Amino acid sequence: MPKQNDERDDRETIQEFREAVNMTASELEKWLKTDESSDVGQKKGGDSESTGHESGRLIVEILGKKQTAYDSDDTAQMHRTISYVHRHLAQRPSGDISETRWRYSLMNWGHDPKKK
């Protein structure tokens, strides 16, 4: 019985992840190569890559996999992504968000708030 619950939880996680990540793998890959992408986010130390940028690379990998190939690391990253996107969307600044660090940070996590 626990296996069925785990499978249902994984399906729900995958669905929420697909709703949170509205950029394609190629859009995200292209974005991650920009200066704006590299300039935002919290860095772990020194000149290292930001957490969001690193997550973006992992999200690209997940988007490139078949659902049957997801492992526990993938579902853990999906949970982190869902959490970050929901939390960050709640902090939306007023005004035009087109060229804001807020938007750029979300885009590192695969969500472009300007995309419908």
Q: Does residue 60 form part of some domain?
A: yes
pTM: 0.88
Q: Does residue 113 form part of some domain?
A: no
Q: Which domain holds residue 61?
A: 2-108
Structure tokens at 115: 């995309």
Q: What is the pLDDT of residues 55-74, one digit of tens each?
A: 999 999 999 999 999 999 99
Contacts of 11 (CB under 8 A, 6+ apart): none
Q: Does residue 116 form part of some domain?
A: no
Q: What is the pLDDT of residues 2-44, one digit of tens each?
A: 455 566 688 899 999 999 999 999 999 999 999 999 888 777 7
Task: Determine the pLDDT at residue 116.
Answer: 73
Structure tokens at 68: 């049957």
Q: Does residue 114 form part of some domain?
A: no
Between CA 69 and CA 59 the distance in angstroms is 14
Between CA 112 and CA 8 the distance in angstroms is 28
Domains in the chain: how many in total? 1
